[in-house]
């Protein structure tokens, strides 16, 4: 439907907790479609409503076009494994910056569909990483907060430099 502008780090909207969705209507479906279009244009594999300035608990994840996009409304992690994995992460709100983040390698989540049905399912590997990353964002936790202070400071300085260079071009 529409590609929306993405909120850029360090916008404080990225640190606010998103509101629970209670209305499952055409407006929610339109928001999910806009999120998908915006994520594909970014490009990215996951995006939340807060990334486009809408403080509502919805995320769209598409690991690849063949498997298709999935929309998660009001998602929450209800269990996570004790085993962890390290994976390279970044954000559509901080393009060009990637860093290794350690997270549980499996999760069980509870969420609602666009129609309001409550679902619980487990995920592991890359999908588990993406779900945790996007749910963190919905909880107001920007991904750099999962880094050590040294790595976070380095990532922020690198992004500031990239932003300055892009502004000059």
pLDDT recorded at residue 169: 82
Q: What is the DSSP letter of 62?
A: -
Locate 6 and state its tokens: 């993405």
Locate 89 and state its tokens: 């992460």
For the CA atoms of 85, 101, 34, 53, the dihedral, rounded to the nearest 10 degrees, stands at 140
Query: What's the CATH class of domain 12-168?
Result: alpha beta
β-bridge partners, 90: none
Mean pLDDT of 164-169: 89
Cα–Cα distance measured from residue 39 to residue 44, given in angstroms and rounded to the nearest whole number: 5
- 131 and 139 in contact (C-beta within 8 Å)? no
Instruction: Give the count of beta carbons closer than 10 Å to the beta carbon of residue 95.
Output: 18
pLDDT, mean over the chain: 97
Ordered by start, the domain boundaries in the chain are 12-168
Give the tens place of pLDDT for each residue, 99-150. Answer: 999 999 999 999 999 999 999 999 999 999 999 999 999 999 999 999 999 9
How big is the chain by its Cα radius of gyration, in Å? 16
**pTM recorded for the entire structure:** 0.96
Place of tokens 């390279």: 88
Locate 108 and state its tokens: 């069980």
Instruction: Give the count of beta carbons closer than 10 Å to the beta carbon of residue 107.
Output: 23
pLDDT recorded at residue 140: 98
100, 134, 160, 165: the active-site residue: 134
134 is catalytic: yes
Pairing of strands 118-124, 84-89: unpaired
């Amino acid at each position: 439907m529409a590609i929306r502008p993405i909120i850029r780090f360090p916008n404080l909207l990225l640190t606010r907790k998103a509101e629970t969705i209670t209305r499952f209507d055409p407006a929610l479906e339109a928001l999910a479609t806009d999120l998908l279009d915006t994520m594909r244009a970014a490009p990215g594999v996951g995006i939340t409503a807060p990334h486009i300035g809408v403080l509502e608990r919805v995320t769209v994840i598409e690991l690849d076009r063949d498997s298709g996009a999935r929309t998660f409304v009001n998602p929450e992690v209800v269990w996570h494994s004790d085993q962890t994995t390290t994976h390279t992460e970044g954000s559509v709100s901080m393009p060009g910056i990637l860093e290794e983040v350690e997270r549980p390698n499996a999760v069980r989540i509870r969420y609602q569909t666009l129609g309001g049905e409550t679902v619980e399912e487990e995920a592991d590997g890359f999908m588990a990483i993406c779900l945790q990353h996007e749910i963190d964002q919905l909880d107001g936790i920007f991904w750099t907060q999962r880094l050590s202070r040294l790595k976070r400071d380095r990532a922020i300085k690198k992004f500031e430099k990239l932003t300055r260079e892009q502004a000059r071009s």
